[in-house]
């Protein structure tokens, strides 16, 4: 079985739910406490053993690449002022470990993943959507890689979602359950609650086999007129093992304003440097 070495980060969406913040700045640069969403996702991938990060970007997205580059002027000024550069440590990746491709038009998540096909090549790969901020120990993708090493094939990260919210998710038709792993018998993108096969929703982490790229070649449109990753994944079922893994992690949907504010509070309350002040403030305003 080939190891999962590559991860695709689809970051070409328009982020319309976050306007005006995302007019000139990518959604993935929105900051939770003191680091942008993309950094949490890249750190999670590194922890899971990923060696090659592939950003699928669009216009206005250069800040994402710059974030992981050397910042000569900033670093020289900080050195000159005797400030430690340790705070920048986790934005330094081994040379050559980030590549990016452009998705010229935001035609959907499936299309964004397909744009990375040449860089992914013929090996299994992970997909991380940075606006789903996952907090767990070990990290979400590390848990998925451990499961992948047991069962192989394709694995999506799943979560029980409220029945009335199925139309916001890809939903699984579940088969046999074994602890946190559920066999996937079918997938449907954004079903209405009355048509949903379960309330097991897919959240923003995937381990996929490269054959999904061949299916995405057809560029078939699905829900919302977009080229959907869920529809392409559904066509792998039966040919390859396919599981959902309910990870032991906390998810914050940072593509949504309420989820984003909650993420800031939840993560600030886990941080020794800011938690006491935030806790006191919350008690004050309660
Ligand atoms: P979303 O559904 O959250 O869309 O995409 P969005 O455009 O980012 O945000 P809203 O809904 O307009 O506010 C889920 C993920 O897929 C990526 C997004 O960047 C995000 O990480 N995506 C989506 C692409 O890269 N390209 C697309 O064409 C669509």
What structural domains and CATH numbers belong to the chain? Answer: 6-255 (3.90.550.10)
**Centroid of ligand 1 to alpha carbon of 15 (angstroms):** 6
**Centroid of ligand 1 to alpha carbon of 253 (angstroms):** 12
Q: Whose CA is nearest to atom 22 of ligand 1?
A: 13
**Tens digit of pLDDT for each residue in 41-54?**
999 999 999 999 99
Mutate to test the pocket of ligand 1, among 9, 10, 13 (most ligand atoms within 8 A of CB): 13
Does ligand 1 lie within 6 Å of residue 110's CB atom?
A: no
Does ligand 1 lie within 6 Å of residue 103's CB atom?
A: yes
Average pLDDT of the segment spanning 110-126: 98
Does ligand 1 lie within 6 Å of residue 109's CB atom?
A: yes
Listed in sequence order, the residues at least 6 apart from 133 whose beta carbon sits closer than 8 Å to its beta carbon are 32, 37, 40, 41, 251, 252, 254, 263, 267
**Centroid of ligand 1 to alpha carbon of 87 (angstroms):** 29
Average pLDDT taken over every residue of the chain: 95
pLDDT at 61: 74
Are 145 and 48 a contacting pair, CB within 8 Å?
A: yes
3 state SS of 182: strand
pTM: 0.96
Average pLDDT of the segment spanning 222-231: 93
**Tens digit of pLDDT for each residue in 162-188?**
999 999 999 999 999 999 999 999 999
pLDDT at 35 over 80: yes
pLDDT at 90: 85
Average pLDDT of the segment spanning 263-275: 96
Average pLDDT of the segment spanning 83-89: 92
Q: Whose CA is nearest to atom 10 of ligand 1?
A: 15
**Centroid of ligand 1 to alpha carbon of 168 (angstroms):** 13
59 pLDDT band, cuts 50/70/90, is: confident
**Centroid of ligand 1 to alpha carbon of 132 (angstroms):** 11
Does ligand 1 lie within 6 Å of residue 56's CB atom?
A: yes
Helix%, strand%, coil% for the chain, nearest 5: 35, 25, 35
**How many CB atoms are located within 10 Å of the residue 87 CB?**
11
**Centroid of ligand 1 to alpha carbon of 215 (angstroms):** 20
Does ligand 1 lie within 6 Å of residue 8's CB atom?
A: no
**Centroid of ligand 1 to alpha carbon of 2 (angstroms):** 29
Mutate to test the pocket of ligand 1, among 205, 255, 258, 260 (most ligand atoms within 8 A of CB): 255
Are 90 and 39 a contacting pair, CB within 8 Å?
A: yes
Does ligand 1 lie within 6 Å of residue 16's CB atom?
A: yes
CA distance 99 to 29: 17
pLDDT at 173: 97
User: What is the tally of helices (H) and strands (E) in the chain?
Assistant: 10, 13
């Amino acid at each position: 079985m080939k190891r999962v070495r590559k991860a695709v980060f689809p970051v070409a969406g328009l982020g319309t739910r976050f306007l005006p913040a995302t007019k000139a700045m990518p959604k993935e640069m929105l900051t939770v406490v003191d680091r942008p969403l993309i950094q949490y996702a890249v750190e999670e991938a590194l922890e899971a053993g990923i060696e090659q990060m592939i950003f699928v970007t669009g216009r206005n997205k250069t800040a994402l690449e710059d974030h992981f580059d050397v910042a000569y002027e900033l670093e020289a000024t900080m050195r000159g002022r005797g400030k430690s550069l340790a705070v920048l440590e986790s934005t330094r990746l081994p040379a050559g470990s980030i590549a990016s491709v452009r998705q010229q038009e935001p035609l959907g998540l499936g299309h964004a993943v397909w744009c990375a096909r040449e860089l992914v090549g013929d090996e299994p790969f992970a997909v991380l959507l940075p606006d789903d901020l996952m907090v767990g120990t070990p990290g979400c993708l590390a848990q998925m890689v451990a499961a992948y090493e047991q069962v192989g094939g394709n694995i999506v990260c799943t979560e029980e979602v409220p029945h009335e919210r199925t139309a916001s998710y890809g939903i699984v038709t579940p088969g046999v359950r074994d602890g946190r792993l559920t066999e996937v018998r079918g997938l449907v993108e954004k079903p209405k609650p009355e048509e949903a096969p379960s309330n097991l929703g897919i959240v923003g982490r995937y381990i996929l086999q490269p054959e999904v790229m061949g299916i995405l070649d057809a560029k078939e449109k699905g829900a919302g007129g977009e080229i959907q990753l869920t529809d392409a994944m559904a066509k792998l079922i039966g040919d390859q093992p396919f599981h959902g893994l309910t990870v032991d992690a906390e998810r914050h949907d940072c593509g949504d304003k309420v989820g984003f504010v909650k993420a800031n509070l939840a993560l600030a309350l886990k941080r020794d440097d800011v938690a006491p002040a935030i806790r006191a403030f919350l008690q004050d305003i309660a």
